[in-house]
């Protein structure tokens, strides 16, 4: 995808639209200064994954990249999810530092301020410096909270890559030859497979991501995706699309704070253990590719901390033959996950001392020189140097 097309596609080339020309150079200087600071990227194994299929002796073959990277970072054997075992509340607890109990399907924003809001307000960071990129299409409200004195003006940009495709499918594929596609039917089948994969195809709310895009951006989106889906990097899964968009955001905007939500592994709800394991391995590969991008990008190399953790586990097999299907039991397999920290400011090592999901936001805040108030979580001192 061409650089210009991506900017139009995302609909987030905000500065040129909201700042007068006389202030553009000042904005560019401020953005460059921000780009040189410490950066933090949170990566969630969304949908949930058990330690049994990851960082256990029998599970390491499913995560070859993270198994190697573990020795280059600090590993917490236990990261506890003590909150509501749903996707939105689990991830919202990670980014706010407080256990969240809002609507399970993302109709409500988090009740307390996110680390994105804390960061932007404290550092007067620009609108392109904090991002949420989520395969889970119900995460539209994840970027900002309902807390007074924070909210949308300080929130992260939220990109739902699969929603971008969903919006474009109707216009790109179902139009006549004006769409300029060599085989519209084949593309249609490929996109439908991508969009319908995973558990979110059944009963999940799909938010209308285009509601914030004007007509011009919508038309640009269809043209850009027409090139993208026929290109050499066309994705075969939702998480591959999320990785591609994440990489482009990093290259274009160099934000200092990001949440990347991979979610293919929630296909476990379909009851196929093999598809679940394939998704785990794919997420491992994409997380490794993200780490490679950090090392190759001079604006991220040596100044970026990567915090990787599952948003929740999945049920154990004690009381059922297929515990991996769900994540509501509250048993240890469901609540006890892990966390791997890599990169700038991280010592090498491991501990069996538990950390909690709500400690992640507090840790990220400390790395970004924030002193947020109202967080129940505490910074992970073992990795703060």
Q: Report the number of distinct structural domains present in the chain.
A: 1
Q: What is the pLDDT of residues 49-64, one digit of tens each?
A: 999 999 999 999 999 9
230 domain residue, yes or no: yes
246 lies in which domain range?
3-11+38-383
Phi, psi of 262 (to 5 degrees): -90, 150
Q: Which two tokens stand for residue 47?
A: 């949908």
Domain at 374, CATH number: 3.40.720.10
Q: Is residue 31 part of a domain?
A: no
Q: Tell me the HSE value of 255 on the side-chain side, using a 13 A CA sphere.
A: 27
Q: How far is CA 115 from CA 69, 143, 282, 365, in A?
A: 26, 9, 28, 7
DSSP conformational letter for 67: H
**pLDDT score of 188:** 57
The reply to whether 84 falls in a domain is yes
Tell me the pLDDT of the chain (385 aa) as tens digits: 444 454 444 444 444 444 455 554 544 544 454 446 899 999 999 999 999 999 999 999 999 999 999 999 999 999 999 999 999 999 999 999 999 999 988 889 999 999 999 999 999 998 889 999 998 888 999 999 999 999 999 999 888 877 766 655 555 555 554 445 455 566 556 666 555 555 454 333 434 433 344 354 344 444 555 556 666 666 678 898 889 888 888 888 899 999 999 999 999 998 899 999 999 999 999 999 999 999 999 999 999 999 999 999 999 987 666 789 999 889 999 999 999 999 999 999 999 999 999 999 999 999 999 998 899 999 999 998 6
Is residue 30 in some structural domain? no
Average pLDDT, the chain: 82
Whether 268 is in a domain gets the answer: yes
pLDDT in tens, 323-375: 899 998 899 999 999 999 999 999 999 999 999 999 999 999 999 999 988 99
């Amino acid at each position: 995808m061409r650089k210009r097309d991506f900017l139009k596609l995302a609909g987030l080339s905000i500065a040129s639209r909201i700042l007068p020309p006389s202030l553009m150079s000042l904005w560019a200087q401020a953005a460059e200064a921000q780009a040189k600071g410490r950066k933090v990227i949170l990566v969630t194994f969304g949908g949930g994954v058990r330690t049994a299929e990851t960082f256990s002796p029998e599970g390491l073959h499913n995560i070859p990249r993270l198994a190697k990277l573990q020795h280059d970072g600090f590993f917490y054997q236990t990261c506890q999810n003590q909150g509501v075992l749903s996707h939105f509340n689990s991830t919202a607890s990670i980014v706010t530092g407080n256990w969240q109990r809002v609507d399970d399907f993302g109709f409500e924003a988090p009740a307390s301020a996110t680390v994105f809001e804390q960061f932007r307000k404290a550092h007067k960071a620009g609108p392109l410096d904090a991002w949420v990129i989520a395969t889970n299409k119900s995460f539209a409200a994840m970027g900002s909270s309902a807390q007074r004195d924070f909210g949308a003006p300080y929130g992260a940009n939220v990109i739902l890559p699969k929603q971008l495709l969903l919006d474009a499918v109707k216009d790109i594929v179902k139009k006549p030859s004006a769409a300029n596609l060599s085989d519209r039917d084949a593309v249609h089948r490929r996109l439908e497979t991508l969009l319908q994969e995973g558990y979110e195809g059944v009963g999940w709310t799909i938010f209308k991501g285009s509601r914030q895009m004007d007509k011009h951006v919508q038309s640009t989106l269809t043209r850009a995706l027409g090139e993208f889906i026929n290109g050499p990097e066309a994705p075969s899964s939702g998480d591959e699309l999320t990785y591609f968009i994440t990489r482009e955001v990093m290259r274009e905007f160099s934000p200092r704070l990001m949440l990347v939500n991979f979610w293919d592994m929630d296909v476990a709800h379909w009851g196929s253990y093999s598809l679940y394991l394939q998704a785990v391995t794919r997420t491992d590969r994409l997380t490794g590719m993200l780490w490679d991008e950090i090392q190759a990008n001079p604006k991220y190399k040596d100044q970026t901390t990567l915090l990787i953790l599952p948003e929740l586990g999945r049920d154990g097999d004690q009381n059922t033959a297929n515990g991996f299907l769900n994540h509501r039991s509250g048993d240890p397999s469901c609540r006890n996950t892990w966390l791997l920290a890599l990169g700038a400011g991280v010592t090498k090592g491991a501990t069996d001392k538990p950390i909690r999901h709500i400690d992640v936001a507090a840790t990220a805040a400390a790395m970004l020189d924030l002193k947020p108030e109202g967080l129940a979580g505490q910074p992970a001192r073992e990795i703060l140097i």
